[in-house]
A and B are shown apart, each in its own frame.
Chain A
Amino acid sequence: MDVRESISLQNQVSMNLAKHVITTVSQNSNVIFSPASINVVLSIIAAGSAGATKDQILSFLKFSSTDQLNSFSSEIVSAVLADGSANGGPKLSVANGAWIDKSLSFKPSFKQLLEDSYKAASNQADFQSKAVEVIAEVNSWAEKETNGLITEVLPEGSADSMTKLIFANALYFKGTWNEKFDESLTQEGEFHLLDGNKVTAPFMTSKKKQYVSAYDGFKVLGLPYLQGQDKRQFSMYFYLPDANNGLSDLLDKIVSTPGFLDNHIPRRQVKVREFKIPKFKFSFGFDASNVLKGLGLTSPFSGEEGLTEMVESPEMGKNLCVSNIFHKACIEVNEEGTEAAAASAGVIKLRGLLMEEDEIDFVADHPFLLVVTENITGVVLFIGQVVDPLH
């Protein structure tokens, strides 16, 4: 299976996950999470498990072997999730950390995998007597790794004297728009909530051509992030149902149609008539283990087979299980982008088809989905929904 095909499968898994997160955790509130990030955690767990646990994770992620999964995940970590800020692209940092109780120690092969493939730091911790301090330590690690954007990834009481192992994964992404929005044009407007009420929120606008496509029942907007000299191209896509309350139908359609994301990417910039997207900033945290269990991935959390490939002691390994996977993400959409810089690439269009595209409206004044994708590979970094730009 080639990488592109794997990514396509992973995106299907991600969308499925997203649907469950939305329907089970947060039907009526804003959601943002990183499926890429959760996949990395699952890959690490798979590498540390054997038997049914391993098989379950592999089948959940649609891989046939841990080698295949690990090489894929580490490739994503090094190629897609690498920092691009030195090249003028988005700032991206992914950090994986493992905290193991001092009574245990990692198998050398597992430790090496952590460090080499996932660039994960492994730490000793004293859960038995200092669980609260360990939580604080993990949280401050996450805060540092996400430039202060994500605080308290681990809720109070999420570890105690029984905890043996914590995996934490933090993904920090900060891109600026390829073309900034004019702040002086940002205006207050009404946003329709799912319950039929309205709130007043700031909306950004632009008269410039945009990547917008209209489909049956919904529209898609792509906003490219500044790429610089980076080879990767990140974009945020807005999936806006035509109906104010069409979000869940649209989500169903996305999940039930294989390759939906790839087949609904606006490829051309078109003239826009009315163009409004809200400014928003929110964070969202949840216990991914519950959602994964709901999707049938139970074994890693039940402890029946254990995580025998992870720790030195076979007995302890057999009794180990993952208690929780806490995940927290934060997103901000504002005008920030590059000033129309002097230099910009272009295409000398020798000749083209001379059809005049109709101007298109894109007014995101009701709940929509958003996806942050790396366009060359198709890897989905974030998925979320905005149902109220103020919360």
Chain B
Amino acid sequence: AQKTQVTSMFGADHLWKKGYTGAKVKMAIFDTGIRADHPHFRKIKERTNWTNEDTLNDNLGHGTFVAGVIAGRNPECLGFASDTEIYAFRVFTDAQVSYTSWFLDAFNYAIATDMDVLNLSIGGPDYLDLPFVEKVWEITASNIIMVSAIGNDGPLYGTLNNPADQSDVIGVGGIDNDDHIASFSSRGMSTWELPHGYGRVKPDVVAYGRDIMGSKISTGCKSLSGTSVASPVVAGIVCLLVSVIPEARRKDLLNPASMKQALVEGAAKLSGPNMYEQGAGRVDLLESYEILKSYHPRASIFPSILDYNDCPYSWPFCRQPLYAGAMPIIFNTTILNGMGVIGYIESPPTWHPANEEGNLLSIHFKYPDVIWPWTGYLALHMQIKEEGAQFTGEIEGNVTVKVYSPPASGESGPRRSTCSLQLKLKVIPTPPRAKRILWDQFHSIKYPPGYIPRDSLDVRNDILDWHGDHLHTNFHIMYNMLRDAGYYIETLGSPLTCFDAQQYGTLLMVDLEDDYFPEEIEKLRDDVINTGLGLVVFAEWYNVDTMVKMRFFDDNTRSWWTPVTGGANIPALNNLLASFGIAFGDKILNGDFSIDGEQSRYASGTNIVRFPAGGFLHTFPLLDSSESGATQNLLLTEASKEDPAVLGLLEIGEGRVGVYGDSNCLDSSHMVTNCYWLLKKMLDFSSSNIKDPVLFSKFAKRYSPVIIDEKQLPSRRTDVNFSTYSSVIGKELICESDSRFEVWGTKGYNLHVRGRNRRLPGYHGIDLGRGLNFTVESKRPTRWRSAKEGGELSSSRSKSLGGLFNRDEIDMPFLVPTRWIVLAGVVASGVLVLLSIWRIRQKRGRRRRASGSNRLA
């Protein structure tokens, strides 16, 4: 392993020569402690112990190493800032045990003793540990710059650790000495915004974290790897940078936001990794030094650009252009406000297109009322307007937003700053229906807070389902594969009533844990049978006996943990699929099988126990490892065993349905073998009615239905309060801001309304309203207006959205006047006329209908 001095790789000696060595910087190291008389350190100012062990010493080596990287002065393992004052907070025992309460005590003491910088080479997946998260806010609000390791759960995505995933914390990822992202470094995006929002770009920056030299427990140096090492590299750099600013001016200029601005603006973007792997890029000490030297308090947006031409950095955005009719594309940026701990958005953000085509873009903004502490979010929800349905090209422009903070002491007026975010987007014409897939994110439940068990029971060291189950986290390879195969994939973060089935070839439902509203079940039935929507379901194991046995007492939380559902929620899925005569069972099947020359591993999947005649059903000799199944394996003779069905394909009404009992083969987290080939064949069928000769062989055809008594179907757990974790049980059905703008805050595409008007009621309604100078609401069917009035759009922020609409009204007629007038004309001539045309078309078949809507578009 290469053991170059990490300080020289960042050019720290340039600052040392200028006399900057971290003097008078109070550096809090939350770790395993340190020995008092350690020869590597000049200034161990104080050691405190917050654990239940009666020692201040480090007996593990972690805390000493971290301190060494920051401030060690042994020539073999030099740290960045040898004059930094070390305050060692011992919050981990020798056995690596720690509790939230110890942290809270230690954080309070760090605030009381007025620390400048705090390093946490520590993290975990629970971003919902509110006492901890709120205390971290208090730390940063107290103007302590917190640097934290992003986590060692890479190369999987959706593995960010808390608190490094917080916007007020500097989250540090690790790179190898050759500037590749270290395999262990956790990848973004943050997952707490799901399902209605989209994850934040994290880590913020990356630094060397493999085979770095640091101090050993009592003397000497050793090498260590991990984001535990990358974090103190940045913390050491921060200490150096703090010491650059004269002591008297530090508290005025330096804060968690200004330091993050200096780091991300100075960072060197690496070619290769995407923004959810590297953030702003590799820390550049000297660039950040230059930025800080001339720094004036200001606000900025991170990332400051979204460029669809910059691939792979802009992955996943650059993998799929925008087009009209799609679910909004959400870009979740962070506002860094170096002007003050508290800040406000002065007026709604505005979009300034650089060219005429830019007016085809409609953006809705989401942001908090108060920007605190030092940071906040600004989420862009972007849609291409209907007039852009045939547009191919690029859209460029800037989003600007004015931020202000109350005056600092001695100042008379508030501090103001205008931040800018540059957009360079690619737009294509709306793809044909058969190429469009909708991914159901809404019905996915993850840890935290619930014990959502892992999907493959073979995986024993990672017992929780915590990677987000998103197209851009643990399903990102599947996403890339589908894009390569020519499909366009959109995300649905709201209930199934919130999308227009006419737009999509297939609804893809993978590994879902939540329940379904009755309205969703009813609409999906209609979507498939009458609207010809394809439905592809990848389920997971569900066995109550096994779940009960998976209960365990957790020492950390001092409580019993019991799975709230199986790998998937089979009773709920069975409710949904009952319309199609399909149900899953409670087996937990494992084994290898081969179909059409493709080897596959079935890893803890379920079985199909109900299936209609006329469909195609595939059975394989797989082993049941559920509690009851294992017993049966022993009791039953070979002859009486029937191979379980795991794959089914069915035509029903206008639509087509494909079901498979295991999602492990699509999930990058713990995949054994992939089954992208199977997914593609199922999509060929569901979207385009292309029947693979093997999947649709006559041997697989069912001439009689597979039936099972209702009582034998898996049932819900009655001993778990599922509503705690569900977005459905005990909740109101509502389309959130991930859905198309026109149904925000409504119940969506309501079945009864659609019966009379098969058009897309939402956005045609808007176009109609604008053209005739009606208000949007006045033309909407009452069904969904009523929900909307209580919804978010009627809040104070809706005024800004209204303002956006108004702008569009002015721009639009000039842009595409002809098409716009035709559209308005047709619609205005009578909704009822369209209705009768629709009825006729339906009888003539699907193809005509599709061409009809193209003409209108």
Which residues of A come within 8 Å of B, CB atoms? Answer: 179, 209, 267, 269, 339-356, 358
Contact = CB atoms under 8 A, between A and B. Distances in A.
A348 B561 contact: yes
Nearest to A179: B460
Interface stretch (B368-376, B486-494, B547-555): B547-555
B326 interface: no
Given A341-B625, A344-B460, A348-B561, A353 B161 contact: no
B760 interface: no
Contacts of A354: 121-123, 149, 151-152, 161, 226-228, 231
A266 to B, nearest CB: 13
14 contacts: A267-B95, A339-B625, A341-B457, A342-B549, A342-B550, A342-B604, A346-B463, A349-B556, A350-B98, A350-B99, A351-B162, A353-B92, A354-B228, A354-B231
B58 to A, nearest CB: 11
A28 B214 CA distance: 44
Interface in B119-173: 121-126, 129, 149, 151-152, 161-162
Contacts of B210: 356
Interface in B735-750: none
Nearest to A178: B460
Interface string B196-220: 0000000000000110000000000
Given A342-B626, A356-B184, A356-B226, A351 B123 contact: yes
Interface in B228-250: 228-229, 231
B225 interface: yes
B549 A348 contact: no
B549 A343 contact: yes
Interface string B578-612: 00000000001000000000000000100000000
B546 A343 contact: yes
A355 B226 contact: yes
Contacts of B99: 350
B192 to A, nearest CB: 16
Nearest to B174: A356
A209 B92 CA distance: 23
B728 interface: no
Contacts of B625: 339, 341-342
A352 B124 contact: yes
B122 A352 contact: yes
Contact of B546 (A179, A267, A342, A347): A342
- Interface bracket on B: 35 or more
A342 B623 CA distance: 12
Residue from A209, A342, A352 having most chain B Cβ neighbours under 10 A: A342
Contacts of A339: 625
Nearest to A269: B461
B801 interface: no
B31 interface: yes
B627 interface: yes
Interface string B769-780: 000000000000
B457 A342 contact: yes
Contacts of B460: 179, 340, 344, 346
Contacts of A342: 457, 543, 546, 549-550, 588, 604, 625-627
B49 interface: no
A270 to B, nearest CB: 11
A340 B672 CA distance: 15
A110 B8 CA distance: 77
B96 interface: yes
Given A342-B604, A355-B228, 5 more contacts: A267-B95, A342-B626, A346-B463, A354-B122, A356-B210
B552 A345 contact: yes
B557 interface: yes
A339 B588 CA distance: 13
Interface string B458-475: 101101100000000000
Contacts of B125: 349
Contacts of B122: 351-354
B311 interface: no
Given A342-B457, A342-B549, A351 B121 contact: no
Given A348-B561, A350-B556, A343 B227 contact: no
A231 to B, nearest CB: 14
B836 interface: no
B730 to A, nearest CB: 25
Interface string B69-100: 00000000000000000000000100110111
B239 to A, nearest CB: 20
B584 to A, nearest CB: 17
A160 B550 CA distance: 58
Contacts of A209: 461
Contacts of A340: 457-458, 460
A192 B555 CA distance: 44
A343 B149 CA distance: 32
Question: Which 6 pairs between the two chains have the least Cβ-Cβ distance?
Answer: A351-B124, A356-B226, A343-B549, A346-B463, A354-B228, A356-B225
Contacts of A341: 457, 625
A344 B464 CA distance: 12
B557 A350 contact: yes
A190 to B, nearest CB: 28
Given A342-B549, A342-B626, A343-B550, A351 B161 contact: yes
B458 A353 contact: no
A1 B552 CA distance: 35
A162 to B, nearest CB: 53
B653 to A, nearest CB: 38
A349 B552 CA distance: 13
Interface string B724-762: 000000000000000000000000000000000000000
A229 B451 CA distance: 22
Interface string B93-111: 0011011100000000000
Contact of A353 (B126, B162, B228, B457): B228
A353 B231 CA distance: 12
B123 A348 contact: no
Nearest to B561: A348
A355 B162 CA distance: 15
Contacts of A269: 461
A346 B457 CA distance: 12
B540 to A, nearest CB: 13
Contacts of B458: 340
A358 B123 CA distance: 19
A355 B588 contact: no
Contacts of B543: 342
Residue from A209, A339, A350 having most chain B Cβ neighbours under 10 A: A350
A355 B95 CA distance: 14
A348 B557 contact: yes
B96 A352 contact: yes
B397 to A, nearest CB: 40
Contacts of B57: none
B32 interface: yes
B276 to A, nearest CB: 18
A45 B543 CA distance: 55
Nearest to A343: B549
B62 interface: yes
B343 to A, nearest CB: 29
A351 B556 CA distance: 9
Contacts of B555: 347
Given A340-B458, A353-B92, A356-B152, A346 B123 contact: no
A340 B184 CA distance: 25
Contact of A358 (B152, B225, B550, B588): B225
A354 B227 CA distance: 6
B803 to A, nearest CB: 44
Contacts of A355: 62, 65, 121, 152, 224-226, 228-229
Contacts of A346: 460, 463, 552, 554
Nearest to B95: A267
Contacts of B228: 353-356
Residue from A347, A352, A358 having most chain B Cβ neighbours under 10 A: A352
B488 to A, nearest CB: 37
